[in-house]
Amino acid sequence: MLPASVVVIRGDDLIIEMINDSNLIYWGKSREQVLGRRFLDVLPDLANQPFAGQLRRVMQTGEIIDVKESPVLFTMADGSLRETFVDYTYQPLQDLLGNTNRVLVMSFEITDRVKSRQLLEQYTEALGNLNESLSEVNDSLVKSEKRFKYFIEEAPVAIGVLQGQQLILETANSKILEVWGKNTDIIGLPLALALPELNGQPFLEILDHVFATGISRYVNEINAFLQHDGEVKELFFNVAYKAVSGLDGAVSDILIVAADVTEQVNARKAMEETMRHFRDLADLVPAKISNIQPNGEVTFYNQQWLDFAGMDFEALQSFGYDQMIHPDEVDGFHNGLQKAATERRAHIAEMRFKNRHGEYIWHLNVVSPSYDEYGNLKMWVGSTTDIQALKEEDQRKMDFVSMLSHELKTPITSIKAHVQMALRLLGRETNTPSIQKLNSSFDRIDKLLVQLTSMIGDMLDLSRLDAGRMDLSTESFAIDALIQEIVDDFRISNPQHVFDVTVHATVVINADRGRIGQVLINLIANLIKYSPNSKKVDIDLSTANNRVQIAVRDYGIGIEQKEQQRIFERFYRVDGKNEKFFGGFGIGLFLAHGIITQHGGTISVESEVGGGTTFRVHLLLNSLSAGTAITS
């Protein structure tokens, strides 16, 4: 991201270890062409230049080398030479044992700046020389003057000559007239009249000073407001004002040589403005934003991060991202990030970060990869949101659910005993209409109690799963028989439904039979619940790739795409009017997911709104007895 070129070079062989985009562009290479290679293999032209020697010296002595305006020559593919200039610094880097075996090279390419200055110097020098020879050599005066005029006129930079203290514009080439937005009419006028808009700008004062003292002036990136066709334009120039002396030694003229650098200055300003804009943006969002290099180095923290940590950027950077993470979550974070990198996706995790008071606060951390134009990972962008309040709310909910289900168990067990007793006593009574009524009422109560017990069971399971205390008691059993058993029960309680069961083989698996049954009951109950207008349910058991698949399908209301991943979350219920229509807590699928993943299996959903829903459960196959398709 830095506008400077950065490269890290290791050992006597000068192996290129790390390099940023700016440097690759400057070298004209891709990352693959340079990483892990020797510096001189990558850039053989640099062998006769001082850099390799300097790099080794920095590693031997640990000194810092800082060079300004160093020429660097590259041989191009067509054999021509590309001359560039850089300011560069070689800084030694130590490894963990304290040995200096790497050099951090930071360089700024300043070719444009140097070249435009050289051009200015060349022209002022050449014009100065010509002028000198003019004053000395009388007989070649005419010839020289012609050459002088020709030279000025054809020059690619803006050139003008001001004569005498009044600064009469004696010569102006077409380039200077163009940048001034004027035509040849102004030649012969004092500059103050030729360019009245200069009034109030620093130029006339500078020129007066040059004329009075005979000391030439060079200014870079000076801005001038100039009138172009009635419109004021701000332009930037690198300018040389050179005092020219006559034969008597007194200043007679001032030579102006100017290069229009407006475009470069504007481009730089626009870039600075964009960077400021994005920095402001990053500071104003409520989330904590960070940029992390692929090597783990953090190059940006927004204001929210700094406020949270109570440190400034440098302090937080050297403190380190990992130090902020709860120790229990550091490994998980790195493994997750590595996995995300290979799968080219964001890493999302709930994790705790330490605040300025040393307290760990829950955050949702979304770390997304950003790639360069070659598709290489350029950096990670971290967006970290405080979810402490949500977590606490969640915990309160869980504690409540756990407490409630425990508390409910006792009275319900006792109600159930009373109902059983009442049913037994009623069985002994004579069969009068009121006894019959009572009997069927208690029967109904008994069934509702079964439902209630199962709901409380679910709630208890929920708190167990959350606390990681759901134990599995595994055994070998035939899953096809279990399905058949469950469907038979459903057929009794839902006589109007059609259950279409297809079993492709008799399949024995090693799992917790009760828990798997609980999952299937849950799924089938959902199929019935969420299909108010369809009475058909398909159940299909098959095996492939050493796994057993149970697919259950309904032709009901379906689930919107964006909800499909979320329905397995705890307490998640699809929003909308359906919620009131279909009762439920939103824990059935969460439990199903928890139980199946604890078995090392997967559960997934495919659905279409109005077109029905299919849930697929995959479990590892224990042993398979081949058989022909049995359909019931």
CB 553 within 8 A of CB 537: yes
- Closest CB 339 distance from ligand ADP, rounded Å: 28
Q: Which of 394, 230, 175, 378 shows the shortest CA–CA distance to 293?
A: 378
Residue 226 or 501 having the CB closest to ligand ADP: 501
How far apart, in whole angstroms, are the C-alpha atoms of residue 625 and residue 434?
Answer: 55
Residue 177 or 557 having the CB closest to ligand ADP: 557
- Closest CB 618 distance from ligand ADP, rounded Å: 18
Burial of 240 (0-12, 13-18, 19+ CB in 10 A): buried
- Closest CB 432 distance from ligand ADP, rounded Å: 41
Residue 7 or 462 having the CB closest to ligand ADP: 462
Residue 58 or 523 having the CB closest to ligand ADP: 523
- Closest CB 572 distance from ligand ADP, rounded Å: 6
Residue 383 or 613 having the CB closest to ligand ADP: 613
Residue 588 or 601 having the CB closest to ligand ADP: 588
Residue 62 or 576 having the CB closest to ligand ADP: 576
CB 174 within 8 A of CB 157: no
- Closest CB 595 distance from ligand ADP, rounded Å: 12
Name every residue whose Cβ is closer than 8 Å to that of residue 299 and which is 6 or more positions away in sequence: 1, 291, 292, 293, 379
Chain centre distance of CA 30? 22
- Closest CB 554 distance from ligand ADP, rounded Å: 5
Closest residue to ligand ADP in the complex (CB): 584
Residue 80 or 533 having the CB closest to ligand ADP: 533
Residue 433 or 583 having the CB closest to ligand ADP: 583
Residue 594 or 601 having the CB closest to ligand ADP: 594
- Closest CB 470 distance from ligand ADP, rounded Å: 16
- Closest CB 570 distance from ligand ADP, rounded Å: 9
How far apart, in whole angstroms, are the C-alpha atoms of residue 55 and residue 46?
Answer: 12
- Closest CB 299 distance from ligand ADP, rounded Å: 42
- Closest CB 481 distance from ligand ADP, rounded Å: 24
- Closest CB 525 distance from ligand ADP, rounded Å: 8
How far apart, in whole angstroms, are the C-alpha atoms of residue 353 and residue 330?
Answer: 10
Residue 195 or 524 having the CB closest to ligand ADP: 524
Residue 92 or 556 having the CB closest to ligand ADP: 556
- Closest CB 566 distance from ligand ADP, rounded Å: 8
CB 139 within 8 A of CB 132: no
- Tokens 């080219």 -> residue: 344
**What is 369-391 written as a DSSP string?**
EEE-TTS-EEEEEEEEEE-HHHH
- Phi/psi for 131 (5° steps) reads -60, -40
Q: How many residues does the chain have?
A: 632
How far apart, in whole angstroms, are the C-alpha atoms of residue 198 and residue 217?
Answer: 18
Q: Which of 47, 48, 49, 40 shows the shortest CA–CA distance to 14?
A: 40
Residue 3 or 610 having the CB closest to ligand ADP: 610
Long-range CB contacts (< 8 A, 24+ apart) of 293-299?
293/379, 293/380, 294/341, 294/377, 294/378, 294/379, 294/380, 295/18, 296/321, 299/1, 299/379
Q: Which of 494, 550, 493, 491 shows the shortest CA–CA distance to 520?
A: 550
- Cα three-residue angle 92-97-98, rounded to 5 degrees: 35
Residue 124 or 613 having the CB closest to ligand ADP: 613
Q: Which of 318, 316, 289, 317 shows the shortest CA–CA distance to 304?
A: 289
CB 169 within 8 A of CB 160: yes
- Closest CB 401 distance from ligand ADP, rounded Å: 13
- Closest CB 579 distance from ligand ADP, rounded Å: 7
- Closest CB 526 distance from ligand ADP, rounded Å: 4
Q: Which residues pair with 5 in a beta bridge?
A: 107
Residue 35 or 574 having the CB closest to ligand ADP: 574
CB 584 within 8 A of CB 573: yes
Name every residue whose Cβ is closer than 8 Å to that of residue 140 and which is 6 or more positions away in sequence: 133
Footprint on this chain of ligand ADP (rule: CB under 6 A): 526-527, 530, 554, 556-559, 567, 572-574, 584-590, 613
How far apart, in whole angstroms, are the C-alpha atoms of residue 129 and residue 244?
Answer: 10
- Distances in Å between the Cα of 305 and the Cα atoms of 288, 302, 389, 624 are 5, 6, 18, 55
Handedness of CA 244, 245, 246, 251 (dihedral sign): positive
How far apart, in whole angstroms, are the C-alpha atoms of residue 604 and residue 616?
Answer: 5
- Tokens 């990352």 -> residue: 31
